[in-house]
Amino acid sequence: MLTGELVRVRVIKKELRPSFIARDRHRATTDELLRIYREGIGQTREALSEQVKELVGDRTDHKITRGMAKLIEDRAEWASESPVPPAELRERLWTRVAAAPSRSRAEAAYLAVGQELDLDADQLRRLLFADRKEEQELKSLPAIDTNWLMNRYDVALVQALLLKASELRAVLHAPQPERLRQLFTAVRFHQLMYRAKRTEDRVEIVLDGPASLIRQNSRYGMALANWFPRLLLQTCRWEMEATVLWTKRRLRKSLQLNSDMDLHSHVRDTGAYKTQVEGWFEERWEKLDTGWTLSRDGVILDLGGEGVVCPGYTLRKGRKTAYLEIVGFWRKDWLKRHSQRIRKHGPGNLVIAVSERMAGDKGDPDGLDVIAFKEILNAKKVLAAVEKVAL
């Protein structure tokens, strides 16, 4: 993902317009950048960074090249090769020299430690800080091409802006049911706070942004940014508007995108996502041997026209049915409104579970009709709640 210093955007009154890459103009530079890294296997980050600097030169569009270089490095595999951990090498040398530091004592220490490890002094110096990031060596590079990298750059540009969003609103026109379930599955996987409603053939999804949280906003921001490529997998027409708090003054700016902008997702087109909490819960549920079947149907429940909810699980036992929603990030006021809508308009057989560790403010779930847990959801508590509400 791009860092703030690499973001290229135009500010036009109240609107933010990302400066997407000009494909024809930057194709040759992108080709050359990929060549540097493809031929750079075995070289250090520092050495490759110097080659990128030479490619950039004094060009005014240096942010594009540096941004694409970062995206390549994020995809690449790096490693530090050292027969002995560098920290241990430094400790050995320090132990020998610290009592009475001098140039001659340091040279003697290098020689002695080198003999112990069967290394000459030059090798020892090279390995001494091999654990520093810039000394890591490029081990492998995934099969990526010029078009992939330019597409990835455009998406990364949007993701960087979403890290400062207070809200994201997406409208989907006549979405396919399986694609809609896929999108809600991604919302649950990234544990985002959401509201949604359906009007005839339109579905509107509103996601709270990281700027709306007091705590965990960086972590939540990454979750929202990583959700965005899932929106690009939708095959229907869609529009999206995010409110971004721009600059240190936190000026409210609008980021508007739509399905006609030719943005391409880089993530695999699959709906099989499962959080760690869900995995742990499923393991413990199976051990109970309750007679209830647990399935991930992706059902969408209407909340009396005030929204929809897509619970993570459907539970069945004979003719009885119940649903379970495991909430991800939350704020006290958001959770209160969410549970009120479900209590007022929900089917009556929906159980809500909330992790206290995912709180986005200083609120707590006390007084709300939810199952609270810290890290592992208690399967027995879920079973008791399901037996109580099942229809």
Going by pLDDT thresholds of 50, 70 and 90, the confidence category of residue 206 is very high
Check residue 304 and give its pLDDT. 75
Residue with tokens 């000459």: 120
Per-residue model confidence as pLDDT tens digits over 90-116: 888 888 888 778 888 888 888 888 888
Q: Give CA–CA dist 104/98, Å, rounded.
A: 13
Q: Is the pLDDT of residue 28 over 90?
A: yes
Mean per-residue pLDDT for 248-257? 95
Per-residue model confidence as pLDDT tens digits over 286-326: 999 889 999 877 678 878 767 778 888 999 999 999 999 88
**Mean per-residue pLDDT of the chain:** 89
Check residue 297 and give its pLDDT. 72
Q: Which of 112-121, 340-349, 370-379 has the lowest mean pLDDT?
A: 112-121
Check residue 273 and give its pLDDT. 62
Going by pLDDT thresholds of 50, 70 and 90, the confidence category of residue 368 is confident
Check residue 136 and give its pLDDT. 87
> Which of 146-160, 186-200, 337-351: highest mean pLDDT?
146-160
Evaluate whether 214 touches 362 at the Cβ level (below 8 Å).
yes
Q: Give CA–CA dist 328/318, Å, rounded.
A: 30
The percent of residues above 70 in pLDDT, for the chain, comes to: 98
- C-alpha 33, offset from chain centre: 25
In terms of residues, how long is the chain?
391
Evaluate whether 21 touches 64 at the Cβ level (below 8 Å).
yes
Whole-model pTM? 0.77
Q: Is the pLDDT of residue 270 over 80?
A: no
The dihedrals phi and psi of 83, each to the nearest 5 degrees, come to -65, -25
Residue with tokens 């090798």: 123
The percent of residues above 90 in pLDDT, for the chain, comes to: 52
Q: Is the pLDDT of residue 227 over 90?
A: yes
